[in-house]
Each structure stands twice: as structure tokens, then as C-alpha cells.
């Protein structure tokens, strides 16, 4: 294949893969795969589709002594082809699931933060990468979702991701690169068999390819079949999932009890996926059901899943971030100023009370000797306005339908040691004015 034929084949292949997409950002490492992808797209732009807006984004992981040289190479590669280039340096925490997983997480965080509106990310994984991903999923004991490996066209983290080289082999890409006289980076870490993917690539798969030359294509076909099965299950289960899920995204435990364990597990997985959770193992999935869904009503059961927590309240499952504890936080507040609350909870401000006493949280202003304090933990009994008798704090929150994990995250207005109000929830008897005392309205604006 001469260079002209190679370029034509590659550009036609890419033109078909990108379809109507025109704002393209290539994740450019400088290696063989991304060099072929970026050069092919530049050729497509220059010869066939001048309306394509193409740029390259390089992630500088800082893990290699050659990282600065690689960045310089990528910049020169792009300059030669009139491709806008940008680079972002990231810090990789090797304790975050290992170096490979941490570097991947860092990359996709950068992509999510740097893509423009309607811009599509393209990555250069190829057929042999797909085979490795399938084998790694098999090693982990994954089900059809994991064995689906990588999708050629998907939406992740709020953007569209295309992998246009998935049905081309590494050997084909090497041939394109040679014919197009491309230069690329050889990452020294790719020779380190301590990493699982490299172990497969260096020590296992070559023997399989020699024995069965079409092994990579066969595993890609299996991955596609698994993906099709998952898509079919999605279609069959979507009606049940919607019926079990409310506007807050919580899932009905009682409704799940009516299903077989197999169908229940499939519904739980799809609920978690729809909420952006890391997929649980089979053991974790069983624990979600046994230890959280079926726990005692008064138990505050929970299970941590990555950065999220699964909790139950009133026969519903919730998937929530891990909240910072605020129960010991005490803040002195000058109501003449707006108060920014901790942990992204918004702010408090005090406005003159409206003439009509219909607004929420209208209370008397503090007396001369009273300090205004904001806390997040209520103790003892609370004499709520509108109730005939005092209630223990825990009982009052339960009657108001406030889940346990929110109870220490609602700002409470105290005058000295006396609770006056929980903005948006209640005011206390002690907050009521006497002898025409001045009043004000406490407004809690929570950040969305």
C-alpha cells in the first residue's frame, strides 16, 4: 500500500466514523495510535472536509522522565499540520486504584473540564486494545456489561466519545504510520509487564495471535454481542426501572421485592449506572440488598461504592455523595452580612420581615445581649411552632420526613444556646416576638 492509497483508506474510514461531527478534539499522547488518528483527521480536514474544526489535547502525567520531551514532540507534530495544540499537566495518585486507573481517571477529568460545547472527544484505541480490555474484564469475572469492553460511540461524563479505530488492528496502524512517514513516541512504560495490560500485550496475547490469527477480531465480536445483550436488557427493564424510581432518583425497596433475584440485580445495576456509580461486584450487589435494602427500619445502614454511598430511608434506596460531617461546626454570625455556609451548602442572609407573616422563617430579632450562632446539630427537645407539645430532635426530624444524612446539614439559628429556627423547616416557640419586638426573615439559599 503506497502512501496515497494509505491516506485515502484512512481518511475514508475516519469520514465514515465521525459522521456529521465537525468539532473534534483528539486525545493526543504522541504514540503510534493517536499519531495515526490525528494525522488521518488532519488529512481529512485538508482534502475533503474543510469545515472540520480539529484540535489536539495532550495530558502531561509527569510519570516519566521523558514527559517534557513527549509534550514538545506532540506540539511540533501539531504545528507541522496546523492543528491547534494544548497540554494540561495532572497529578496522578498511584494509591487511587493503581497508576493505570489513576492516570485514566485524571485524563478523563481533564477532558470533561476542557471540551468546548458540542465538541466531541476522539481517542485512538484499536482492535488489539479492545481484545486486551475484554481479557482484563474476563480476568475480573465481569458479566456482559464489563465484557462489552469499549464502545465505539458513547456518552461519558457529559460529553460524546468516539473511538474510530476500534476495528483496525495495531498492525494496520503500523502500516499506515510507515506509509505516511509518521514519527511517534514509544512510551518506555509499555515494556513493563508488571502492569496487567502490558503483561497481556507482551507475554500472553502474542502466542494467542500466533495460534489463532483472528483472535482479536473474535473477542471484539464477543464484546459486541455482550453489548447487544446489555442494550436489549436495558430496553426490557426500562419500564420497571422508571416505575420504581421517583423524582429524586431513589429506588423503591418494596417494588424490588416482587422480582426474582436475577431481575432485581439487573435493575439495581441499571439504577446505579443511571446515577453515575461505579459498577459493584456480585458480592457488593448482594450486600446492597441484604445489608441496606433489608436492614431494620431504624438502622442507618449504608454501603460505600467508590465515591458514593448507598443509603435507605423509608423503604427507598438513595445514592449519595459522602458528606462532610458538620455536627461539631459552630459559626458566630453577624446578620448584617451574608453568611457562606461550609461544604457547599449555600448561604444565609437576614432580610427585614415582610408585612404579611406568610413568609417562611420569620423570627424576632436578637435582643441586645444575645449572640447569633449557626449550628448543624440539634439536641434535646424542640418546641416547634404549630405543634401542641415539644418533640425530641430526632423524632421531629423523622416527623418532618428529613432523612438522617440531611439532619446534620441543615443550618440551625441559635440565639446564644437557644434554638430559634431551621430555615425552610420550622421555627420554635422561643423565636416568637414579644411586646412588638422587631422581626426579620432568615433566608437559606442552598447551592444547586
Asked whether 308 and 277 are in contact (CB, 8 A), the reply is yes
Radius of gyration over alpha carbons of the chain, in Å? 29
Q: Which residue has the cell 522522565?
A: 65
Ligand-binding annotation for 189, yes or no, is: no
Check if the beta carbon of residue 348 is closer than 8 Å to that of residue 424: no
Residue 35 pLDDT class (50, 70, 90 cuts): very high
Distance of alpha carbon 128 from alpha carbon 32, whole angstroms? 13
Q: Output the pTM of the full model.
A: 0.74
Phi, psi torsion values for 52, nearest 5 degrees: -65, 130
Q: Which residue has the cell 495518585?
A: 93
SS3 state of residue 128: helix
How much of the chain exceeds pLDDT 70, in percent? 94
The reported pLDDT for the residue numbered 40 is: 95
Is a pLDDT exceeding 70 seen at residue 3? no
Give the separation between CA 266 and CA 260, rounded to whole angstroms. Answer: 10
Please tell me the predicted confidence (pLDDT) of residue 58: 94
pLDDT at 139 over 80: yes
Q: Which helix (H) or strand (E) holds 4?
A: helix 3-18
Q: How far is CA 139 from CA 132, 142, 160, 192, 441, in A?
A: 10, 8, 28, 19, 60
Q: Which pLDDT band holds residue 448 (cuts at 50, 70, 90)?
A: very low
Q: Would you say 29 is a known binding-site residue?
A: yes
The answer to whether 30 is annotated as binding is: yes
33 is known to lie in a ligand binding site: yes
| Residue 283 burial (C-beta neighbours within 10 Å; 0-12, 13-18, 19+) | exposed
Known binding residue 32? Answer is: yes
142 labeled part of a ligand binding site: no
User: Residue 351: which pLDDT band, with cuts at 50, 70 and 90?
Assistant: confident
pLDDT at 172: 93
Label residue 380 by pLDDT band (50, 70, 90).
confident
Contact 219/128 with Cβ under 8 angstroms?
A: no
Do residues 397 and 331 touch, judged by C-beta distance below 8 A? no
- Per the CB < 8 A criterion, the answer to whether 279 and 146 are in contact is yes
Instruction: Kindly give, in sequence order, each residue whose CB lies less than 8 Å from that of residue 430, ignoring residues fewer than 6 positions away.
Output: 383, 415, 418, 419, 420
For 245-403, where are the alpha helices, taking DSSP H only?
253-257, 261-274, 282-287, 393-399
Mean pLDDT, the chain, whole residue set: 88
Alpha helix (H) ranges present in 166-260?
Answer: 170-179, 196-199, 205-211, 215-244, 253-257
Q: Do the Cβ atoms of 18 and 164 come closer than 8 Å?
A: yes
Closest CA to 417 of 378, 362, 359, 365: 378
With 80 as the cut, is the pLDDT of residue 99 above it? no
Q: Is the pLDDT of residue 357 over 70?
A: no
Give 44-82 pLDDT, tens digit per residue. Answer: 999 999 999 999 999 887 777 888 999 999 999 999 999
Which pLDDT belongs to residue 209? 96
CA-based nearest residue to 269, from 93, 132, 144:
144
Cα–Cα distance, 333 to 353 (Å, whole number): 18
Closest CA to 177 of 377, 338, 30, 12: 30
pLDDT in tens, 188-228: 778 888 889 999 999 999 999 999 999 999 999 999 999 99
Name the most confidently modeled range: 45-54, 392-401, 420-429, 434-443: 45-54
Q: 105 or 409: whose pLDDT is higher?
A: 409
What confidence tens digit (pLDDT) does each residue in 232-251 have?
A: 999 999 999 999 999 989 99
Average pLDDT (413-423) is: 90
Question: Which class for 182: exposed (0-12), middle (13-18), buried (19 or more C-beta within 10 A)?
Answer: middle
Amino acid at each position: 500500500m503506497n502512501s496515497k492509497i494509505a491516506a485515502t483508506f484512512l481518511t475514508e474510514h475516519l469520514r465514515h466514523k465521525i459522521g456529521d461531527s465537525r468539532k473534534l478534539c483528539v486525545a493526543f499522547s504522541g504514540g503510534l495510535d493517536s499519531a495515526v488518528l490525528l494525522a488521518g483527521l488532519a488529512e481529512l480536514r485538508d482534502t475533503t472536509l474543510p469545515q472540520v474544526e480539529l484540535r489536539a489535547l495532550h495530558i502531561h502525567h509527569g510519570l516519566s522522565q521523558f514527559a517534557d520531551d513527549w509534550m514538545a514532540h506532540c506540539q511540533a507534530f501539531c504545528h507541522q499540520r496546523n492543528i491547534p495544540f494544548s497540554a494540561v499537566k495532572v497529578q496522578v495518585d498511584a494509591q487511587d486504584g493503581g497508576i493505570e486507573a489513576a492516570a485514566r481517571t485524571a485524563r478523563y477529568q481533564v477532558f470533561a473540564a476542557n471540551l468546548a460545547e458540542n465538541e466531541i472527544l476522539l481517542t485512538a484505541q484499536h482492535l488489539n486494545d479492545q481484545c486486551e480490555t475484554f481479557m482484563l474484564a474476563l480476568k475480573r469475572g465481569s458479566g456482559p456489561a464489563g465484557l462489552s469492553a469499549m464502545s465505539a460511540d458513547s456518552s461519558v461524563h457529559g460529553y460524546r466519545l468516539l473511538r474510530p479505530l476500534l476495528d483496525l488492528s495495531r498492525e494496520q496502524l503500523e502500516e499506515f504510520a510507515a506509509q505516511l512517514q509518521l514519527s511517534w513516541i514509544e512510551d518506555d512504560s509499555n515494556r513493563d509487564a508488571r502492569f496487567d495490560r502490558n503483561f497481556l500485550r507482551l507475554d500472553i496475547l502474542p502466542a494467542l495471535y500466533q495460534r489463532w490469527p483472528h483472535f482479536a477480531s473474535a473477542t471484539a465480536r464477543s464484546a459486541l454481542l455482550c453489548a447487544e445483550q446489555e442494550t436489549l436488557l436495558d430496553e426490557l427493564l426500562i419500564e420497571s426501572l422508571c416505575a420504581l424510581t421517583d423524582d429524586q432518583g431513589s429506588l423503591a425497596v418494596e417494588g424490588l421485592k416482587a422480582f426474582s433475584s436475577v431481575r432485581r440485580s439487573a435493575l439495581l445495576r441499571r439504577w446505579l449506572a443511571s446515577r453515575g456509580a461505579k459498577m459493584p461486584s456480585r458480592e457488593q450487589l448482594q450486600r446492597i440488598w441484604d445489608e441496606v435494602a433489608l436492614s431494620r427500619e431504624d438502622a442507618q445502614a449504608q454501603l460505600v461504592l467508590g465515591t458514593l454511598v448507598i443509603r435507605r430511608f423509608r423503604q427507598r434506596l438513595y445514592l449519595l455523595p459522602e458528606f462532610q460531617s458538620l455536627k461539631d461546626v459552630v459559626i458566630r454570625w453577624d446578620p448584617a452580612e451574608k453568611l457562606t455556609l461550609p461544604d457547599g451548602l449555600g448561604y444565609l442572609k437576614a432580610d427585614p420581615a415582610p408585612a404579611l407573616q406568610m413568609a417562611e422563617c420569620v423570627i424576632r430579632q436578637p435582643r441586645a445581649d444575645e449572640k447569633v450562632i449557626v449550628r448543624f446539630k440539634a439536641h434535646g427537645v424542640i418546641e416547634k411552632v404549630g405543634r401542641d407539645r415539644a418533640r425530641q430532635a430526632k423524632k421531629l426530624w423523622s416527623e418532618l420526613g428529613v432523612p438522617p444524612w440531611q439532619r446534620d446539614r441543615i443550618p440551625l439559628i441559635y440565639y446564644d444556646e437557644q434554638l430559634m429556627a431551621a430555615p425552610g423547616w420550622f421555627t420554635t416557640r422561643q423565636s416568637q416576638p414579644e411586646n412588638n419586638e422587631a422581626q426579620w426573615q432568615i433566608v437559606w439559599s442552598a447551592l444547586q
